[in-house]
Amino acid sequence: MSNKHQKTKFITREILKSSIIGAFKKFDPRYMVKNPVMFVVELGFVLTFVMTIFPGIFGDDVSLGYLRTYNGIVCVILFITVLFANFAESVAEGRGKAQAASLKNTKHDTKARLIDEDGNETIVNASELKMDDIVIVKAGEVIPNDGEVIEGIASVDESAITGESAPVTREAGTDFSSVTGGTTVVSDWLKIRITSKPGESFLDKMIALVEGASRQKTPNEIALNTLLVGLTIIFLIVVVTLYAFSGYSGAEIQVSTMIALLVCLIPTTIGALLSAIGIAGMDRVTRFNVIAMSGKAVEACGDVDTMMLDKTGTITFGNRLAADFYPVKGQKKEDLIDFAVLSSLCDPTPEGKSTLKLGMQLGTTVDTKQAGKDMEFVEFTAQTRMSGADTKDGLKIRKGAGDAIKEMVKENGGTIPEDLDRIISEISSLGGTPLVVSADNVIYGVIYLKDTVKPGLVERFQRLRSIGIKTIMCTGDNPLTAATIAKEAGVDGFIAECKPEDKIEAIKKEQAEGKLVAMTGDGTNDAPALAQADVGLAMNSGTSAAKEAANMVDLDSDPTKILEVVEIGKQLLITRGSLTTFSIANDIAKYFAIIPAMFTMVIPQMQVLNIMGLSTPMSAILSALIFNAIVIPCLIPIAMKGVKYKPMSAQKMLTKNLGIYGLGGVIVPFVGIKLIDILITPLLAMLGM
């Protein structure tokens, strides 16, 4: 993962300030009711507050001198519990809002050159632009809104959106025709057709999403929330039953104690962190410069079984790069390398640059700094299909297509090496491109150009395989070339001579088997497949059709980022599962803290369950309640950053998480509650409790 996006400060002074204010604002019952678990805790706070002022309102024995103080302490702890829960959510929202603020700085009302039907130019505010309006943007001007380039070619600075300082090229009639409002044209000019309504641009949607304003709960989140509500109702019934039972057994138990018991029994930890985990999941994706159109898309990433990847630009660089030199019979490889380097000294193409780089790696004898000064360079043309250089001594060096070089050599009385055709055929069968090199009508050999697999992808595909994700490469290449690249990259399968409808068919086939499919794309021809896939990652540089069809957009336009996005999705699911396990395991320890303490006085036999050896019933209840509150802020960093994820089988992962968060969730409260009990017992004794 790119450090540029990952190295962000967990919490700043501004986020802390806004989170504290937000935590108090969220006490509004209209907001709290959306989180039933914490709403129950807030109701408990209100009731204990009333009981602090009127201790006997619910029939408690007011003769107990400490009752008002005890109720007040429970009230304060419940208030802090709700406050910490609200703070956790506010921190998650604050990180998103901080990012949104930086985006808003790029969104100011710029002027636009509106072109009418007669071709006349009018200066208007960007906010006045409507869909399908035509504008022209010149060098140094800001693109007023999202659109499609219909004429021209220019360099565009997208650093305000992507953070990447290098300008990118946008051109009409290509897969790189889409432009984003707020970016700047740095050279030439573009005629743009506006594709979004005012206030509905990509930047507007992005701001709403990272602020959390447009976040909707995912199906998994709704399901877990339903479970938490069910558990809350069950424990509410249990507590009411226990209150009746205590009255029957003669145990005088205060209403505030029953409220404390309810709060400790219900899964408050995960209830407090659930929303924060979801917001943080989207935030992690956004900080990786990927905009998820919904939380559901991020979650779906975590369940992906199959990944469809385009070959060109995703698995490979897309440009054919020099991989080796093949000398013909009778010629030295060293001479071939030197002439190839000389012909490439001023060749700006990826082929030329890679030839020069490979030649220098293999130890060319050419003085690259000096040689270029004494040569006249010949550019490649479609007519000649070759390029090269002429020295002052009259030496003519050429590299180009095999038949073009052969024809030139024959015309000038040279001979064709007998093994040249064999070498050319060998390179072609490997899926490579042969470039023949000659000097003064003597053929020295062939440069092997190949579509090079991006470094590190083999290991990443292996990583995906280890977590059970199948990778399929889609390419328009012939089956032989496709098989060569697929083997080199280490993908599980490939589709050769692939057409857009073949991609859709392949996705549907995987989905019919009950699998979730992810794919990337940037062109209009990819749009149907992006819409069909469960996770569609479109490139920001691509067409508007592709971005509208996908449920994720990569601002950096890096197709390989789908690999990291899938891992972020898995991390989100694992984080939620781990903290849910920890929360429920916590309750087990709290049962042993509170239940024995409540009934030991009237049922001495229950003392055997007081395995913690807590001092008094009051200290036991308050220790459990205090632990219940302070565990929430302690878990905020894990909720924000996510549980560290490593590829492994589902069974192994389950065992590991049960060991860490299940067993840990039982042990930690035992230790924590005991320590709190030791600390507060003297204070309670001073208060007469």
Which are the contacts of 119, defined by CB distance < 8 A and separation ≥ 6? none
CA–CA separation, 395 and 409 (whole Å): 14
Neighbours of 555 (CB within 10 A): 23
Which are the contacts of 568, defined by CB distance < 8 A and separation ≥ 6? 281, 284, 285, 288, 298, 301, 642
Is 381 labelled a binding residue?
Answer: yes
Please name every residue paired with 157 in a beta bridge, in sequence order, or none if there are none.
Answer: 184
Is 399 labelled a binding residue?
Answer: yes
CA–CA separation, 616 and 611 (whole Å): 13
Is 68 labelled a binding residue?
Answer: no
- Closest by Cα among 561, 575, 312 to 460: 561
* Residue 208: exposure state from Cβ atoms within 10 A (0-12, 13-18, ≥19): middle
Is 380 labelled a binding residue?
Answer: yes
| 588 three-class SS | helix
458, two tokens: 């083999």
Question: H or E element: which one contains 113?
Answer: strand 111-115
Which single residue is written with the structure tokens 């410069």?
Answer: 289
Are 271 and 32 within 8 A, CB to CB? no
Torsions phi, psi for 62 (to 5 deg): -75, -10
- Closest by Cα among 113, 122, 119 to 190: 113
Q: Which positions are annotated as active-site residues?
A: 310
Instruction: Specify the amino acid at residue 644.
Output: K
Is 511 labelled a binding residue?
Answer: no
Are 214 and 207 within 8 A, CB to CB? no
Is 385 labelled a binding residue?
Answer: yes
Are 474 and 497 within 8 A, CB to CB? no
632, two tokens: 């929430």
336, two tokens: 């071939």
Which are the contacts of 213, defined by CB distance < 8 A and separation ≥ 6? none
Task: Tell me the HSE value of 641 on the side-chain side, using a 13 A CA sphere.
Answer: 14
- Closest by Cα among 357, 272, 354, 364 to 321: 354
> How does strand 153-157 pair with strand 168-171?
antiparallel
Torsions phi, psi for 167 (to 5 deg): -65, 155
* Residue 314: exposure state from Cβ atoms within 10 A (0-12, 13-18, ≥19): buried
CA–CA separation, 589 and 622 (whole Å): 14
Is 218 labelled a binding residue?
Answer: no
Is 599 labelled a binding residue?
Answer: no
> How does strand 396-400 pair with strand 433-439?
antiparallel
Torsions phi, psi for 638 (to 5 deg): -65, -40
Are 517 and 307 within 8 A, CB to CB? yes
Distances (CA, A) of 514 to 507, 534, 570, 647: 11, 11, 18, 22
Is 61 labelled a binding residue?
Answer: no
Is 418 labelled a binding residue?
Answer: no
Neighbours of 531 (CB within 10 A): 16
Question: H or E element: which one contains 428?
Answer: helix 420-429
| 493 three-class SS | strand
Are 588 and 666 within 8 A, CB to CB? yes
Is 685 labelled a binding residue?
Answer: no
Distances (CA, A) of 592 to 77, 603, 616, 618, 645: 20, 15, 13, 14, 33
Q: Which residues are documented as binding site?
A: 347, 351, 380-387, 399, 522, 526
Q: Which residues are documented as binding site for Mg(2+)?
A: 522, 526
Q: Which residues are documented as binding site for ATP?
A: 347, 351, 380-387, 399
